[in-house]
Amino acid sequence: MLPSRSPDVITLGCRLNLAESEAIRALVGASDMVVINGCGVTNEAMKQTRVAVRRARRDRPDAQIVVTGCASEIDRDAFAAMPEVDRVVPNAAKLLPATWGAFPNRQPPRRHARAFLGVQNGCDHSCTFCAIPKGRGPSRSEPVGQVVSAAAELVEQGAREIVLTGVDLTSYEGGLGRLVEAVLLGVPGLARLRLSSLDTIEIDERLFELITGEPRVMPHVHLSLQAGDDLILKRMKRRHLRAEAVAVVARLKARRDITIGADLIAGFPTEDEAAFANTLALIDDCDIVHAHVFPYSPRAGTPAARMPQVSPTTAKARAARLREAADQRRGAWLRSLIGTTQRIVIEKPGDRGHAENFAEVRLVNPAPTASAHASPALPNDAAALSTLRMGTVGAIQSVTIIGAAHDHLIGIPA
């Protein structure tokens, strides 16, 4: 997990952290401060947060180094003891103007055509592997009117696509479908609305109808599946069974051409080869083309840490097998899109964007052809990497897909 860098804020982890970092960036007035908004979802994420702290001190030896986010909340004493750290800010205080000495009406500059908007925080569930409730606290939701106002402001600042994010997004108070309807109605200038990770058991009829029938809601669903074996799901204390997840995906795809992403954990305690095989098969059974795969690592204080453990070597090997299977399915899906026309939001620096199905598309200048009627030649890898700026950042543009790499599409203006 690599951090994304900015002049004053370093972000690791989830889309909610990305949204919160934009707010922090607006509140941090001091140019001699670096804020690390860290992640604590896995031991590796904790390690990467510490690495980011040390790198920030090397890069900015005279700056004040401040750590916040789930990592510092879960292990505050350890981060406070790091010699590189000047200050640790609790998660609950990181969005308060008083924390940074800033004015509450100062707004962040729009940096991207796609914006992340946090609408829910915390979690009331007790998954046995998860330490995030300790880092984020109980579930709470931003008021509908406040979300609509924030979305309208983002659109005014240039956002064409907004991604609603949360720790447990589908637990939004009053229903996520109700919120989506309010945003679409209240912000008619919003071209595209995307949802971050969803819990299958909480996709109610209102939300289902919007995902499958509303053109402004993008046809891309990322599901918090975690495993594909019923016994492992029960030991994780998840609230769905394998068949229920598969049925939800089948029902979604029967109504609309929706691409599926999923979070998957390999090597959960007590997982044997048969249980792992059920999770591996889930990639095909749910047609998962956007997979986030994690090898299980025990978190202190969680029930799963006290269960019989799978060896780290086995967990990493199984995670690699999951990634390989997901990469193969993703590659086949990308190749199937060659020859199609996709609509993308042009993102910085102007030569790429994401299609409605969340496939990344990189634009190239088509190679000269012998005839005006000939098809554009597919550029080689070097040409694909040296793309020209083809559009205005923020514009929605139709592109023709002429090729596919292992993790993205190659297109030309249609």
pLDDT at 390: 60
The partner residues of 141 in beta bridges, in order of sequence, read 120
Q: How does strand 259-266 pair with strand 87-88?
A: unpaired
Strand 352-355 relative to strand 360-363, pairing:
antiparallel
The whole-number pLDDT of residue 102 equals 60
- pLDDT reported for residue 67: 92
**Residue 381 zone, left/alpha/beta (φ > 0; ψ -120 to 50; rest):** alpha
Q: What's the confidence (pLDDT) of residue 46?
A: 86
Give the pLDDT of residue 369.
45
Please state the pTM of the whole predicted model. Answer: 0.82
Q: What is the pLDDT, as a whole number, of residue 14?
A: 84
Are 27 and 100 in contact by the 8 Å Cβ rule? The answer is yes
- Report residue 289 CA to chain centroid gap: 14
Q: Could you give the C-alpha distances from 119 to 42, 157, 296, in angstroms and in order? A: 23, 19, 28
What pLDDT is stored for residue 99 in this prediction?
Answer: 81
Contacts of residue 207, defined as CB under 8 A and 6 or more positions apart, other chains included, come to 170, 175, 176, 177, 180
- Whether a cis peptide bond, with omega within 30° of 0, leads into 308 is no
- H, E, C per residue of the chain: CCCECCCCEEECCCHHHHHHHHHHHHHCCCCCEEEEEECCCCHHHHHHHHHHHHHHHHHCCCCEEEEEEHHHHHCHHHHHCCCCCCEECCHHHCCCHHHHCCCCCCCCCCCCCEEEEEEEECCCCCCCCCCHHHHHCCCEECCHHHHHHHHHHHHHCCCCEEEEEECCHHHCCCCHHHHHHHHHHHCCCCCEEEECCECHHHCCHHHHHHHHHCCCECCEEEEEEECCCHHHHHHHCCCCCHHHHHHHHHHHHHHCCCEEEEEEEECCCCCCHHHHHHHHHHHHHCCEEEEEEEECCCCCCCHHHHCCCCCHHHHHHHHHHHHHHHHHHHHHHHHHCCCCEEEEEEECCCCEEEECCCCEEEECCCECCCCCCCCCECCCHHHHHCCCCCCCCCCEEEEEEEEECCCCEEEEEC
Looking at residue 194, its pLDDT comes to: 98
Q: Residue 302 CA to chain centroid, in angstroms?
A: 24
Please report the pLDDT score of residue 95 as a whole number.
Answer: 80
Residues 6+ apart with CB under 8 A from 224: 197, 198, 199, 200, 262, 263
- The DSSP bridge pattern shows strands 64-69 and 87-88 to be parallel
Per-10-residue mean pLDDT of the chain, 414 residues long, equals 57 83 77 86 85 91 89 84 90 80 53 85 91 84 94 92 94 96 96 96 96 98 97 97 97 97 97 98 97 92 95 97 97 97 91 95 72 47 46 88 95 91
